[in-house]
Amino acid sequence: MAKRKAPTSKAKGGATDPEDVFPPDSVGIAPLVRQILKNIGEDPDREGLLKTPARVDRAWAFLTSGYHTDPRDVVNGAIFTEKTVGTHDEMVVVRDVEFYSLCEHHMIPFFGTIHVGYLPNRKVIGLSKIPRLIDVFARRLQVQERLTQQIAQSLLTILNPRGVAVVAEARHLCMCMRGVQKQNSVTTTSSMLGVFRNSPQTRNEFLSLIKG
């Protein structure tokens, strides 16, 4: 798929303000949606469906906007050097971040919460940027295992911390609405990098903090 260039607004001095980056409101699938409606036996010309192809087009532009967002642009300007941070074991944890994504196998939603922890190495990130970073990867066609790994690896690359831990808990509508139809099943995935992988004590501390 060709990469679209998302329009951006300019901050003072002509620089791009990452807070104002937004995707194009169309991915050009309205005609395809109209054909799908016909194929399933619907009438795309009836009143309730007249605007559905355009609405779906705009919705997919938003739901897949992560393909056109660079994680570094999201966190740009929100990474701070703290000389005293990283000299001890101060763990930073952001828990219960809601996310919504699309399963790449059936293009049906899966959603839940993600917990992120890291041990700084002199650098810290603005806390509001962690949910934004999660959205970059969630707004793509995904599998939960890869989503979890991408978030962890991205933080490791951007911050160079002593370790990163990410745990995702999600419900998959492809399991609830079709297939085995198990409505209460929850899938948990984790990615432990650096000290979180090498130190059981550090890993267990993180897991105890996100249980609260």
Active-site amino acid positions: 103-106, 144, 172, 174
Measured between alpha carbons, how far is 79 from 51 in angstroms, rounded to an integer? 43
Indicate the Cα dihedral angle 49, 51, 55, 56, nearest 10°.
40
Measured between alpha carbons, how far is 84 from 120 in angstroms, rounded to an integer? 10
Strand-pair partners of 89: none
> DSSP E strands: which ranges in the chain?
79-81, 92-103, 109-119, 123-125, 141-142, 163-172, 187-194
